[in-house]
Chain A
Amino acid sequence: MQSMVYLKDVVTLAHRPEICNGCGICLVVCPRRVFERSDGKINVAKRDACIECGACQRNCPQMAVTVRAGVGCASAIINQMLGRKKACCPSAY
């Protein structure tokens, strides 16, 4: 089925090609296939598909990818606003 995409032009993902060594771990860990390799170089191909999970940033040995990682969960944000600690987890997975 088609891949669903959320809001446009909001994500905080940044890739710095000048310090990237092209190891490709970001291609492996990204569950949204945001990165691609063309002519041996990694670049961000599908920016709006990014969900800011932070997998690429956490696993990049060069720290060439940065993103303000978090969970896109309205009820967690509401709980936070209300000062409740309860987090958001669809534990059906």
Chain B
Amino acid sequence: MRPPRLDQPFVTGTIETAAGSVPKVSNVFSRADRIGAFKVRWGIGRMKYRVDAGLYAMGEPTAESPVFVTANYKLTFDLLRRAIASIDGWILVLDTLGINVWCAAGKGTFGTDELVERIESSRLDDLLSHRKLILPQLAAPGVAGHEVKKRSGFQVIYGPVRAEDIPEFLGKGLKAEERMRTKDFGFKERLALVPMEVVPAVRLALLAAAGLFVLSLLFSGFSISKALGWFAISATAIVTSVLAGAVFTPLLLPWLPGRAFSIKGFVMGLLFAFLVVPFVYISSIPGTAVLLISIPAMAAYLAMNFTGSSTFTSLSGVRKEMRFALPLEIGGTGIGLLLWIIALLGR
């Protein structure tokens, strides 16, 4: 395995060690890092936002310094880099295919095999006088600590869930308080995830809107002004669903009724539907019904997709939720579409 390249923008030099020369990383979170982080949150170049796997140095580490293991997704790497900016230590980056710790551990790429191989290829044996590695706690679904010990001689110590708690963790002699061991899901975190929900939702929405506009044109005999009037109803339904299901449901998650995400999204969608109906000029009852039926159904679907971003859903739970919710969501959207066409034909 190749050592990490030195021409990566965050590498400031090298230090010579018993295990060869090791790239040194900057402890400054630069403007370029900030822009990169912003871009990937909006889904731009996400799969290419990687750092080279291998060993790096932060500050002036020695053979006694702690080793922090992380993923090669740059957003993850930067979180660690910022958290330990004032600590002399080693960073061992695993090749997780540019995926964050939690997801990579779930897939097994942040796993026992990769860790053991990376320990060997980075020559940690020669580098260190101790035999301890600090891993993020959220790597535990992929890494079997007792197996790593057996195969490499290195002891896995699970550090805190959040990198920002590392200095405190070190200060307390590698002990994490309960607070550091849990994964919460606060408002700010949900807000940060909203772009991730909105981008694919808007992509889907634009496709659907394009199709519906073509339908409006066909039914209006290619009169643009008429078509736009009819298209307005379906466009309202789509925009409102995205707002209700992909923006407001994630943000207001803990305060919405129900446990299933689809129910939370349905409630939000219904609320939004009643809010927009008075603002849309609709002469027919089917037109109103289009909004009242399709918005909650589509919002429920979009909300259901937030299960993957949340931190407290289980596979068994999501399967159960989908069994009852998916048919209703598809059915509701279908009925909305049908009523919309009926409303068009009835004019």
Q: Residues of A at under 8 Å CB distance from B?
A: 1-8, 10-12, 25, 28-33, 49-55, 58-59, 61, 68-78, 87-93
Q: How far is the CB of A30 from chain B (nearest CB, A)?
A: 8
**Interface hub of A4, A7, A8, A52 (most chain B Cβ within 10 A):** A7
B196 within 8 A of partner (CB): yes
Q: Give Cα distance in the complex from A87 to B102, angstroms.
A: 13
Given contacts A1-B186, A58-B143, is CB(A91)–CB(B307) below 8 Å? no
Q: Output the nearest chain B residue to A4 by Cβ-Cβ distance.
A: B312
Instruction: Known pairs A7-B314, A77-B322, A90-B193; list 11 more (Cβ under 8 Å).
Output: A28-B140, A50-B314, A55-B137, A58-B141, A69-B141, A70-B315, A71-B106, A72-B318, A73-B318, A90-B196, A92-B40
Min C-beta distance of B331 to chain A, whole Å: 16
Pairs across A and B, CB under 8 Å, 22 listed: A1-B184, A3-B312, A6-B314, A11-B314, A11-B316, A32-B312, A33-B178, A33-B182, A58-B140, A61-B146, A68-B316, A69-B141, A72-B310, A72-B315, A72-B316, A74-B261, A74-B318, A75-B305, A89-B103, A91-B99, A91-B100, A91-B196
Report the bound CA distance from A55 to B307 in whole Å: 19
- The interface size of chain B toward A, counting residues with CB under 8 Å, comes to 61
If over half of A's interface residues share one DSSP class (helix, strand or loop), that class is named, otherwise mixed; here it is loop
Best-surrounded residue of B75, B261, B314 (most CB of chain A within 10 A): B314
With known contacts A59-B146, A90-B308, A91-B103, A71–B315 Cβ distance under 8 A = yes
User: In whole angstroms, what is the CA distance A54 to B182 when docked?
Assistant: 15
Contacting pair A4 B158 (CB below 8 A): no
Q: Does B73 contact A (CB under 8 A)?
A: yes
Chain B nearest CB from A39 CB (Å) reads 20
Q: With A59-B144, A77-B318 known to touch, is A6 a contact of B312 (CB < 8 Å)?
A: yes
Cβ distance B276 to chain A, nearest Cβ, rounded Å: 25
Find out whether the CB atom of A7 lies under 8 angstroms from the CB atom of B259.
yes
Shortest Cβ gap from B13 to chain A (Å): 29
B253 is an interface residue with CB less than 8 A from chain A: yes
- B positions within 8 Å CB-CB of A: 40-41, 46, 73, 75-76, 99-103, 105-107, 137-138, 140-146, 158, 161, 176, 178, 181-186, 192-193, 195-196, 253-254, 259-261, 304-305, 307-322, 326
- Per the bound structure, the CA–CA distance linking A5 and B315 in Å amounts to 14
Please, how many angstroms separate the alpha-carbon atoms of A70 and B313 in the complex? 10
Tell me if A91 and B315 are in contact (CB < 8 A): no
Interchain CA distance A48-B192 in the complex, whole Å: 26
A4 cross-chain contacts in B, Cβ below 8 A = 185, 253-254, 310, 312
Asked whether, in the complex, the Cβ of A58 is within 8 Å of the Cβ of B144, the reply is yes
The answer to whether B253 touches A90, judged by C-beta atoms less than 8 angstroms apart, is: no
Q: Are A72 and B99 in contact (CB under 8 A)?
A: no
Q: Given A71-B106, A93-B101, check contact A31 B144 (CB 8 Å).
A: no
Identify the closest chain A residue to B43 (Cβ): A91
Considering the complex of A and B, which 10 residue pairs feature the smallest CB-CB distances, nearest first? A73-B308, A72-B313, A70-B315, A55-B140, A29-B140, A90-B309, A88-B308, A7-B317, A52-B314, A31-B183
Nearest to B316 among chain A residues (CB) is A10
Asked if residues B321 and A74 are in contact (CB atoms below 8 Å), the reply is: yes
Q: A74 and B158 in contact (CB under 8 A), knowing A53-B106, A93-B76, A93-B101? A: no
Bound CA–CA A55/B40 (angstroms) = 27
User: In angstroms, how far is the closest chain B Cβ from the Cβ of A26?
Assistant: 10
State how many angstroms separate the Cβ of A89 from the closest Cβ of chain B: 4
Please indicate the chain A residues that have their CB under 8 angstroms from the CB of B185 in the complex. 4
Instruction: Give the chain B neighbours of A78 by CB distance below 8 A.
Output: 326
Name which of A6, A69, A77 has the most chain B CB atoms within 10 A of its CB: A6
How many whole Å from B171's CB to the nearest CB in chain A? 18
Q: Which residue of the partner chain A has the closest CB to B161?
A: A31
